[in-house]
Amino acid sequence: DTGVSQNPRHKITKRGQNVTFRCDPISEHNRLYWYRQTLGQGPEFLTYFQNEAQLEKSRLLSDRFSAERPKGSFSTLEIQRTEQGDSAMYLCASSPIPDSYGYTFGSGTRLTVV
């Protein structure tokens, strides 16, 4: 197993365009998390899945953000009608159950909205 994989590594898009990121977690990990990180800040929670079920979504997340994890394997995070404020590093992490395990993070997708 090569760890958590995120694609693409970098994405530059024009304001108003839609973007989609992909995360492939460690295969035996039931839980998958999406976080967003901006310069000088810690990772900010966006949403998480247990298998294919999306169990929690941040109230800070606008309706322009949506995430899926079909069949409990890989996950996608889509941002519609991107804004400059969406520019950030988008991190994916996975972990096994129970909650006492730490996360394994991917390298992230850096989004720049111009």
Binding residues for other proteins, per CB under 8 A? Answer: 4, 33, 35, 40-45, 48, 55-56, 91, 93, 99-108
Chain centroid offset of residue 49 CA: 11
Q: How many residues does the chain have?
A: 114
Task: Answer for the pair 93, 3: CB distance below 8 angstroms, yes or no.
Answer: no
| Residues 6+ positions from 2 with CB-CB distance below 8 Å | none
Pick 40 or 70: Cβ nearer other proteins: 40
Q: How far is the CB of 44 from other proteins (least distance, A)?
A: 8
Q: How far is the CB of 3 from other proteins (least distance, A)?
A: 9
Q: How far is the CB of 42 from other proteins (least distance, A)?
A: 4
